[in-house]
């Protein structure tokens, strides 16, 4: 090519120059592509590094992060392809749960573990009010040991000055249409709350037939969070969802306001002679 450039005709020299320009241009473009790839990898490495650095200031979350990383590395080393695929599918569901947590939504399924969070919220220093909607279909509602402990937490909150209000939705079996007051099986539970300072309303379930969205166990923790409890027919917890989304809190407050239009204050039906003594203790 050098000889052609020195001794060749003008057209040959121009052709040679064109080839050189093409080669140099190709090398330059290849260099740029490699540089872009190196830059992309550097940025990805810095981004990956930023995650543990950002979490380092939160020891509890960072500890979980390290444990997750160890677990993911173990999964990647699984020799059995089928087992590894099943593990990845399971991890994808965990990713969805973590995303929910990041949005301020915590779900407890088929467990009473949610009551720990419930009680911590009731005991939190900044809480001024707690509004609850209890959909009571059996006399066993909150009568087991975890339920009784949660009721004690309500009474302790009242003692600390928290305004605790509850609307109780009663099934036909617990408050028949022709009965002036709820049945004896549930009355002491209601009267105990009234006596301990909980402001109480009651309403028959049948009266809400045209507004079924009001049939929902709900807890409103000031403007901080709302909890939704789903139960089976035996009053056992199926799922409890705690949501910190302010829009969800406002929606729960709106349902509360609608419920008050149907409910009657329990104090108007309260009969001290029917209480029969405290059922939760001090």
pLDDT per residue, tens digit, the chain (282 aa), is 444 444 556 554 445 545 555 555 555 555 556 666 666 766 554 455 556 667 777 888 878 888 888 888 888 888 888 888 888 888 888 888 888 888 888 888 877 888 899 999 999 999 999 999 999 999 999 988 889 999 999 999 999 999 999 999 999 999 999 899 999 999 999 999 999 999 999 999 999 999 999 999 999 999 999 999 998 887 788 899 999 999 999 999 999 999 999 999 999 887 776 554 444 443
238 in Cβ contact with 232 (< 8 Å): yes
* Cα 69 from Cα 62, distance rounded (Å): 10
Q: What one-character DSSP code corresponds to residue 172?
A: T
Q: Could you tell me which of 126, 106, 127 has the C-alpha nearest to residue 115?
A: 106
16 in Cβ contact with 4 (< 8 Å): yes
Collapsing DSSP to helix, strand or coil, 250 comes out as helix
Strands 199-204 and 163-170: parallel
For residue 3, what pLDDT is reported? Answer: 42
Residues 6 or more apart whose Cβ sits within 8 Å of residue 168: 134, 136, 190, 200, 201, 202, 203, 266
Paired tokens of 27:
């090398």
* Cα 105 from Cα 243, distance rounded (Å): 4
Domain boundary assignment for the chain: 2-51, 71-102, 108-274
Q: Could you tell me which of 175, 233, 167, 232 has the C-alpha nearest to residue 206?
A: 175
Q: Could you tell me which of 263, 266, 265, 282 has the C-alpha nearest to residue 274?
A: 266
Supply angle C-alpha 48, 50, 51, rounded to 5.
Answer: 75
DSSP H helical segments within 160-216, as ranges?
Answer: 187-195
Task: Name the CATH superfamily for 108-274.
Answer: Endonuclease Chain A (3.30.870.10)
């Amino acid at each position: 090519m050098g000889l052609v450039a020195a001794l060749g005709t003008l057209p040959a020299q121009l052709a040679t120059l064109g080839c050189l320009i093409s080669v140099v241009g190709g090398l330059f473009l290849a260099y740029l592509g490699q540089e872009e790839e190196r830059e992309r990898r550097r940025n990805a490495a810095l981004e990956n590094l930023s995650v543990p650095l950002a979490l380092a200031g939160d020891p509890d979350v960072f500890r979980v992060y390290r444990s997750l990383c160890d677990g993911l590395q173990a999964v990647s080393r699984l020799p059995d392809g089928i087992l590894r695929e099943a593990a990845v599918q399971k991890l994808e569901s965990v990713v969805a749960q973590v995303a929910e947590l990041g949005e301020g939504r915590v779900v407890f399924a088929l467990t009473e573990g949610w009551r720990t969070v419930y009680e911590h919220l009731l005991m939190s220093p900044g809480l001024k009010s707690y509004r609850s909607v209890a959909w009571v279909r059996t006399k066993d509602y909150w009568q087991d040991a975890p339920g009784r402990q949660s009721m004690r937490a309500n009474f302790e909150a009242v003692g600390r000055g928290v305004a605790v209000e509850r609307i109780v939705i009663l099934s036909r079996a617990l408050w028949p249409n022709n009965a002036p007051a709820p049945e004896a099986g549930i009355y002491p539970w209601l009267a105990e709350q009234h006596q301990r300072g909980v402001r109480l309303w009651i309403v028959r379930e049948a009266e809400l037939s045209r507004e079924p969205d009001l049939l929902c166990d709900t807890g409103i923790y000031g403007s901080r969070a709302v909890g939704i409890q789903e139960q089976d027919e035996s009053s056992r917890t199926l799922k409890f969802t705690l949501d910190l989304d302010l829009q969800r809190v406002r929606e729960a407050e709106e349902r509360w306001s609608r419920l008050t239009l149907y409910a009657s204050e329990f104090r108007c039906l309260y009969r001290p002679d029917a209480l029969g003594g405290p059922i939760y203790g001090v």
